[in-house]
Structure 1
């Protein structure tokens, strides 16, 4: 394992989440190397693949994602598994049940954690909890569509 020394740390942005520029020195096998890395400090998140075993279907969401739009590689509305950030003090399993109801309108209770890990460890501090869950038509309690955003950041 390499020895790591943080030489400099600078905040590049602190608008919604913090973006830091790190200058580090790593020493491995007697060789020292200097590197610069931008690290984005996003909170932990959850995601779930919902399925209806009776109808043999899965439930996904369609959302606008600016990075996808800017890449021009895909349509601006993409299909993805239901997901969201974990609020301070909230358990991952509570966060995903909340997100499912907000985004899809289904009130689910039968979930199972299948994995967890960093979303993109080279540049993000975001840690993601992965779940599967069961939904059915009788669990629909509202229209879903997500929580309306109050900020334009």
Structure 2
């Protein structure tokens, strides 16, 4: 039987998806024994079976599902002269079905790398989503956002914006179903919105707090 993503290309042209992770040798307490592809409609959901040696020396057989959507990048756009930040607002179905009132989240611009370097990807995403063409972006840190189930590593950046960087209307890629608006906020208001729950997106909270502690709005 030919299975998409394994024996024959899936709709993104991929094969051999069941081999991912089988050759890892970095942790001698982990022995991967099987990788099963559960879904590869667009991203990839795998079930991995592995033997794990516990701290007391005994081994157990474990299974974990892990969702592979590729790595991504995000960026905080800031204006120190006016003490503002530029965020986006868009509909997020997972948040909507898990209790968010309308699914419309305030976020820093972000997207998947799609084969580009992290800085190339985030400059592309900033232009597509906000309409601002930023210069060199400052790499801030990296983070695994949900390491218990999602493989994605997110690269965090920051860059100034202003009238000179506004080159297009932004709004995202309509052909991909994106309908994004930009929201400019005073930085202090954005911090308050974290406290009162108006900003709930993790990457955005992390970048705003970085900006307050170590970034462009840190105390003198």
* TM-score normalised by structure 1 residue count: 0.90
- Aligned partner of residue 60 in structure 1, secondary structure: strand
In structure 2, do the counterparts of structure 1 residues 145 and 110 end up closer, same or farther at CA, with 3 Å as the change threshold? same
| Structure 2 counterpart of 1:146 | 172
Work out the CA distance in 2 between the residues paired with 1:46 and 1:30: 39
Contact 1:110 / 1:134 at 8 angstroms: preserved in 2? Answer: no
Listed as ranges, the matches of 1:53-64 within 5 Å are 53-64=80-91
RMSD: 1.7
**2:207 aligned residue:** none
Q: 1:79-114, CA deviations, whole angstroms, 9 ceiling, x for partnerless residues?
A: 0111011121x2111111110010001111142001
Confirm or deny that 1:96 pairs with 2:119: no
Aligned counterpart for 2:161 among listed residues 115, 135, 143: 135
Show the counterpart of 2:102. 75
Q: Which runs of 5 or more residues in structure 1 are unaligned? A: none
**Structure with bigger RCO (C-alpha 8 Å, 6+ apart):** 1
**CA distance in structure 2 between the aligned counterparts of 1:44 and 1:122, rounded to whole angstroms:** 15
Question: What's the CA shift for 1:149?
Answer: 3.8
CA contact (8 A) 1:19 1:41 kept: yes
Report the counterpart of residue 36 of structure 1 in structure 2: 63
Residue ranges of structure 2 left out of the alignment (5+ in a row): 1-26, 178-220
Matched, 1:120 2:120: no
Structure ranking higher in strand proportion: 1
